[in-house]
Amino acid sequence: MPKLGMGPIRREQICRAAAVVIAREGFAGTTMRAVADEAQVSTGMLNHYFLNRQDLLTQALIYVSEGAQARMRAAIENVAPGLGRLTALLDSALADEELAEQTWRVWINAYGEAVRLPELRHTIEDRLKSWYELIDDALEGLLPRRPQKAIPWSWLLDALLNGLAIQALTSEAALDGVQIRDEIVRTLLAGMPAKAVRRGGSARATASDAGSAKRNARDGQSSDRAAAAAKTGRARADGKPPGSSAKRTRRTPRAPSRAR
φ and ψ at residue 198, rounded to 5 degrees: -65, 155
Q: Are 22 and 60 in contact (CB under 8 A)?
A: yes
Q: Does domain 59-201 have CATH number 1.10.357.10?
A: yes
Predicted pLDDT of residue 6: 79
- State the average pLDDT over residues 179-203: 74
Delimit the domains of the chain by residue range. Answer: 59-201
Question: To the nearest whole number, what is the mean pLDDT of the chain?
Answer: 82
Which pLDDT band, with edges at 50, 70 and 90, does 228 fall under?
Answer: low
What's the CA dihedral at 140, 145, 149, 155 to 10 degrees?
-30
From the list 175, 195, 179, the residue with the least C-alpha distance to 187 is 179
Residues 152-161: what's their mean pLDDT? 97
DSSP codes, 26-44: TTTT--HHHHHHHHTS-HH
Predicted local distance difference test score (pLDDT) of residue 194: 61
Backbone angles phi, psi at 239, to 5 degrees: 80, 20
d(CA 50, CA 44) in angstroms, rounded, equals 10
Per-residue pLDDT reduced to its tens digit, 85-124: 999 999 999 999 999 999 999 999 999 999 999 999 999 9
Q: In terms of pLDDT, which residue wins out, 208 or 3?
A: 3
Give the integer Cα–Cα distance in Å for 79 and 92: 13
Contacts of residue 184, defined as CB under 8 A and 6 or more positions apart, other chains included, come to 90, 157, 160, 161, 164
- Per-residue pLDDT tens for 10-32? 999 999 999 999 999 999 999 99
Rank 135-139, 145-149, 206-210 by mean pLDDT and report only the highest.
Answer: 135-139
pLDDT of residue 50: 96
Tell whether pTM > 0.85.
no
Question: Is residue 53 over pLDDT 90?
Answer: yes
